[in-house]
Structure formats: C-alpha cells, structure tokens
Structure 1
C-alpha cells in the first residue's frame, strides 16, 4: 500500500461521501434510507456556508482513491464540532483514525476554538476508544431510535 495523504474536501467529494456513509451505515448498523440524505444536507450546508478560517474538511487518499474523511465545523460559541469521521473498512488498522483526528483537532485549536464536541453511537467502539485515547470525555449517553434502528447515542467533548 502506498502513503496516505490528506487533502482538503471539495464539493466534488460529496457524492462519494454520501454514498459511502449511506452504504456502510446500512450494511454495518442497519440504518434506513434517511441517513444518506442527512449526510448530503450536512455537506450542502458546509459547501454553501463554511468559513474557511474556522471550518474545514479533509479527504484521506491512498493509491488515488478516497478512503476516509473528517470535518471541523462551528458549534456552540467557542466550540467546534467534529463531523463526518469515516474510514472505509479496507483502510482501517493503518493509523488513519489517528491522522484524521489529529488533523481536525489541530485545525480547531489553530482556528481559536476552546473546545470540541461530537455526536456518535455506542456501537462505534473503535472510534469511541480513539476519542478516549485522545482525551475526549463522554458527557451524555442515552437510548434513541434513529435512522430506523435502536441506538445508544453519545455526546463527547474535549477542551483544546
């Protein structure tokens, strides 16, 4: 395998991101057809309104193909949100999660955010273990029914 590179997100990446999110979450989590449109909406909003000084997205590439993503967007005052963190199954286990998370958190700190927050599900055990390793704190966990399945929704945060 060749080197992994991170490059800035462009709107040309949207179709791949929506498709991969929808397909992987349907296959691995049983999500229904409402998840893809949610991702599409997040990307459309990002493309239309992102402040490049304070918001960014990255696509991980290997051998000319996209293999992952992560985004930093504005959240509550003084806080950034981590969004659309995805690593395709065939690229897992290469340290890509560390690379993407470090890129996003470093950008947030450099952009002046004092903290970061994210929303995920308990079933994403590898990602949650990575968040904990980086010093994120689990601040809320509760059952929900989303995207057609019962889940344990989690909120995490970290001071930068």
Structure 2
C-alpha cells in the first residue's frame, strides 16, 4: 500500500461526500431525517423480521445511539417495538402505516437524487460509472465466504457467434455510444469467420464463469476476408486479434487477460510471426490488457465512425 493509493481513496471520499451534500442541502433528501436515520428506516422497510440487534450489527451502530434513534421513531409513530418471535429477549421492529409511507418517500427521493447525478452524463459514461461502483463494492465488500468462480475458455457452440454480435453491439452502444454501424461491422467480421475459417489458423474462444458466457475473442489470419487458406502447413505471417469482449459483471476477474493470452499462445504455437490488432483509444481497459501482453502501439489516426469522433490505433506483438 502506497501513500499515493491512500491519498486517492481519501480524495475520492471527499469528492463524493461533497457531491452528495451539494444535492441534499441540509437534512437528507429534503426530509427531517439525517442520513443515518434514513438508512435505518430503509433497512427496516427492506428486511423481513428485523430486530434491533440485527440493525446494530448490519449498520455497525452504537447500541445506545440506535436505542435513542428507535425511541424517536416510536414517539413519531413510525415504528412499533415488541418481543421478537425468534427470541423473546430481542426487540422486533415493525413499520407503522406512517412509517411505510415515510420509507417510500425516502426511497423515491433517493432514486430522484441518483437520477440527477446520472442525467449529467451520456449513456456510455453512465454505464462506466455504474460498473466502476460495482467494482468498488466487490473489491471492498465481504468476499471471504464467496467461492471463487470457475473460469473456462471453450470453442464456440451453435449460437455463440450470434451472441458475440449481439453483445458487442449492445455493450459498445451503452458504454461508448456506438451506433448501428458498429453492429454491422461486427456482423461482417463474424460472418467472415463462420464462412471462411480454417481450424489450422483461425480460432474463437468463449469465456465462461460458472457456466455463464462472459466474454469472447477471435484470433484469425490477417486478411481472412479476402485470402484463401494456404494449401500446405505453412502459416501466414500475421495473425489478428479481433472482437475482444468481457461482460461488465466479469471485469476484474482475469477474463480479459485469459482471452488475450489464449490468442497470443495460439498465434505463437501455430507459427505466426506477429499478432496485430486495431482498436480505438476510448477502450482504455483493453489497452491495459494489450500492453501487459507485450503489444506495442504502432500508429494512431483520428476518424469518424459508428457515430462518434474516434482515434483508431494499430497495435503489434512480434512473436
């Protein structure tokens, strides 16, 4: 752990708390409740058979503070306290009709507040933000008892090539704002593979986590769309990595690294002299994977494609 990493976390905390505070103006969500009070009401409303001890443990609240807070709720007619059905020594907490209405109001205003934040961003940035927040929760959450998902790379089965087209089109539209032109390009690439691939030189891998499709990649001889496979066993000089895809929920789990490695290993073992790829600069996460695998950026060129102004990039890995 470096001092820079510590400062980055603290800087993010300051930024986010200031951002939320700027939206709330005083009490939480323009209501008479503090953020802690609103969170307690949320937990009561969304948990079946909640006890005071459960609230204290799940929210890490001081017992005395929680008791005073619940007393205020009871005096305001928001909750009823009584013996727990599971353990008579515990207090069972139930929302009254007014309590349910208050919790519903807080839920609606919380959604509106989040919507205000998201509406500032274009669709592809909203997707990136949501995925980044999911990554933060995953990395900093309690994963001690969660079994590690099993990653498997396999050959494509019927339906997988169509899935590659659909998922590439949907994800790139959501994350980067690409239009139907990108889907048309992916469809042509996949169709060319389906019609002209030669198992000696061309491969597709489908990545699965616990049996669910979460990624894909293609490694083909360069010019598969126009070239005829050589009749002998001499491979073409250049292989091309295409259509690297990792589903958002699988990112950060080594899926992209495994797919890129599969391409590199196949190209090297088959006898290609180099592995190349074309991508766009906005795909920053993929760029990290390529750099780690040893690819070098050889050229960049601005272009307007898929409804956006982009910077295309050529990458090369000598084998």
TM-score interval, smaller chain? over 0.9
Which structure 1 residue ranges, 5 or more long, are not aligned?
none
Q: 1:64 Cα shift? A: 2.1
Q: Alignment partner for residue 8 of structure 1, among 137, 150, 155?
A: 155
Q: Deviations over 1:77-110 (max 9, x none)?
A: 5000000100011100011111111111100111
Q: Distance in 1 between matches of 2:200 and 2:159?
A: 21
Q: Is 1:59 matched up with 2:218? A: no
Compute the TM-score of the two structures, normalised by the length of structure 2. Answer: 0.49
Instruction: Specify the alignment match of 2:261 in structure 1.
Output: 102
Which structure 2 residue ranges, 5 or more long, are not aligned?
1-147, 224-235
Q: Deviations over 1:4-26 (max 9, x none)?
A: 10001234212211111111111
Q: 1:144 Cα shift? A: 0.5
Higher helix share: 2
What SS does the corresponding residue of 2:316 show, helix, strand or coil? strand
Q: Distance in 1 between matches of 2:204 and 2:213?
A: 13
**Do the aligned residues in 1 keep the contact of 2:181 with 2:305 (CA within 8 Å)?**
no
Q: Is 1:92 matched up with 2:235? A: no
* C-alpha RMSD of matched pairs (Å): 1.2
**Do the aligned residues in 1 keep the contact of 2:152 with 2:207 (CA within 8 Å)?**
yes
Instruction: Specify the alignment match of 1:153 in structure 2.
Output: 312
Which runs of at least 4 in structure 1 moved beyond 4 Å after TM superposition? Answer: none
Greater displacement, 9-18 / 44-53: 9-18
**Do the aligned residues in 1 keep the contact of 2:281 with 2:312 (CA within 8 Å)?**
yes
Pairing of 1:1-160 with structure 2 (within 5 A): 1-75=148-222, 77-160=236-319
Flag the structure with more relative contact order, 1 or 2, with Cα contacts below 8 A and sequence separation at least 6.
1
Q: Deviations over 1:38-63 (max 9, x none)?
A: 11111111011111011100000122
**Do the aligned residues in 2 keep the contact of 1:122 with 1:154 (CA within 8 Å)?**
yes
Higher strand share: 1
Q: Distance in 2 between matches of 1:34 and 1:14?
A: 18
Q: Distance in 2 between matches of 1:39 and 1:11?
A: 17
Q: Distance in 1 between matches of 2:211 and 2:183?
A: 24
